[in-house]
Structure 1
Amino acid sequence: MTGSTAGLGKEVARLFAAESACTVVTGRNTARGDAVVAEIRAAGGAATFFRADLTIEDEARGLMRAAAATYGPVTVLVNNAVAPEVVAADRKLLEVPPEVWQRMYEVNVIGAVWLMQEAMPGMIEVGHGSIVNISSRTAERSSPKLAAYTASKGAMNALARSITLDYARQGIRCNTVQPGYIVHEERDADMTPERVRYITDMSLTRPATARDVAYAILFLASHEAECISGVTLQVDGGSSFARSRTMD
């Protein structure tokens, strides 16, 4: 479970642990990672934190080896890592600095590739495995001034289809979850009424919470979804079909 010391990743880790999964929490912030593990263990779950910078190949591959050494072959991998500071530096195509392109792909694509390369041989050996890539609706409905982010998420969507074609007969499934806007009480506390109305109007049902998205990930990772591979699942309250609106 990469990027699982906060936000969506933390919620996914908590949910998987509650469902009796041996959960590996990962990220770059040791204090936050240890706190997530302590919370999971206090609730009766099994979890371990491994610190890793997924843009460093040795650390990414070492993470998967440590996970396998602790719990046995990794049969579920959720690629959720994100670097908010890099996303914040994204721009329109002609304005994106080379270092932002590089860092965006290192975090969102290359790091995930290294993890999958380490996990998949073990999945093949035991005859099953599920990979869930966390993408974004921007991969299909691009947002302004997010050229590098949009391209990197589109790459992960395509990679899930490629893995399905090449490895489904060896028991590996790979799917993608595309969240829309995710409600976060602490982050959204200072939101203006206009912004609240905009977010609410984007959804045909209601804005998604991290728990909503986590349940979708849990399902795709589970044996109940063993006939599902290569799909992109939107979890956005129907906002993909809502009439586009522009804020003033």
Structure 2
Amino acid sequence: MIDKDVLKRQNLPQHIAMIMDGNGRWAKKQGKQRVFGHQAGVETVRKVIETSVELEISYLSLYTFSTENWNRPKEEVDALMNLMVESLNDNIDELMTQNIKLNAIGDLSKLPEYTQTSLQKSLDKTADNTGLMVTVALNYGGRDEIVQMTKEVAKKVKNNIILPENIDENKINLHLYSHNLPDVDFMIRTGGERRISNFLLWKIAYAELYFTDVLWPDFNKQHYYEALADYQKRERRFGKTSEQINNEL
């Protein structure tokens, strides 16, 4: 068993991103429809947020609905949108109690109107909270984010608002959906797959990646602790040598 206080005495990531994979397979193992797995996954989200608050993590980003997820059966997409609204409505008081700020990234204009309305209410209500920022990525794709950023920057260059020679990483970042987030320190993916699936491509340049076979609805506090303990064993060099890093300590 890994102890929370031991984790907190060592270096913890500031920004954690999670690819919450395995809901459908979990439901299939139970002999139930995929939506049952998504419902169970919501409870895991709640527990992960709670644990992140306890550990004083600053940013938690959740891959909630990708641009590719529209290709799923309509019944599943509708169920996911309804579940999103239900979850926001049921947990808004808890977000306020824990001083959590909700954030959303992606092309939100493509979401159903009732989902947009519910989401905006929650964003507005938590806007002044100063604790953990929970970002939900909705109708989000990393490549789409870069395409939209490119269009915005190109438009400003065309209108002489930005000079081409002044384009740098900071300018690029300012035009991303995720402009208000720092780089990801640690990305966790559940469900056994070993890929990043188009999530936060710009922000994960130097992220540590962690993959677990645990399906998302089964991912519990100890699994989270194990992932973080693994992160604490790693040496993040950012292009430097181990000797340089050690000399800076």
TM-score by length of 1: 0.37
Higher relative contact order at CA 8 Å, sep ≥6: structure 1 or structure 2? Answer: 2
Comparing both structures, which one devotes a greater share of its residues to helix? 1
